[in-house]
């Protein structure tokens, strides 16, 4: 069976204009043609920023973080940082699987090859803060 594209899953229309589309509009149109499996880390980060297709963003962020807790588009750890910025209601449904990911990431952070020590320390603090929030949920 052929997998459905996001456009069909959400019953969305493409953005059209007589003018050239803005980069964000071009991304939106491009993501509509993707299946959930085709969505990448950059798409998930943009979904979070734009508050679009959030159920896909939650699902895919967990998948990407399970594979690599340091995943990001512009910098290492960017996806984990974005997830850590979600509110408690948004985190609640993800709390058990995220707790496992964060525990694993805390261990891996000690061995990860960061460009500088401050980034490693900052990421470790982010993980500890997220871990505390998840325990409270």
pLDDT in tens, 26-50: 999 999 999 999 999 999 999 999 9
**96 and 32 within one domain:** no
Per-residue confidence (pLDDT) for residue 2, from 0 to 100 = 73
**48 and 62 within one domain:** yes
Per-residue confidence (pLDDT) for residue 51, from 0 to 100 = 95
Residue 40, SS3 per DSSP: coil
**14 and 62 within one domain:** no
Query: Against a cut of 0.95, is the pTM above it?
Result: no
**105 and 53 within one domain:** yes
**104 and 126 within one domain:** yes
What is the DSSP-derived secondary structure letter of residue 37? G
Q: Domain containing 119: what range?
A: 41-136
How many domains, the chain? 2
Q: Closest Cα to residue 120, out of 131, 130, 108, 129? A: 108
DSSP for 55-77 reads: HHHHHHHHHHHHH-TT--SSSTT
Alpha carbon distance 121, 108 (integer Å): 13
Alpha carbon distance 15, 136 (integer Å): 41
């Amino acid at each position: 069976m052929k997998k459905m594209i996001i456009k069909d899953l959400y019953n969305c229309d493409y953005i059209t204009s007589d003018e050239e589309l803005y980069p964000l509009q071009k991304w939106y149109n491009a993501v509509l043609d993707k299946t959930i499996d085709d969505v990448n880390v950059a798409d998930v980060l943009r979904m979070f920023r734009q508050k679009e297709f959030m159920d896909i963003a939650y699902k895919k962020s967990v998948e990407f973080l399970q594979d690599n807790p340091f995943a990001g588009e512009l910098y290492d750890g960017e996806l984990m940082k974005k997830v850590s910025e979600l509110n408690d209601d948004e985190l609640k449904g993800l709390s058990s699987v995220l707790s496992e990911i964060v525990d694993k990431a805390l261990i891996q952070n000690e061995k990860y090859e960061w460009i500088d020590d401050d980034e490693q320390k900052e990421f470790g603090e982010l993980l500890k803060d997220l871990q505390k929030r998840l325990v409270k949920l």
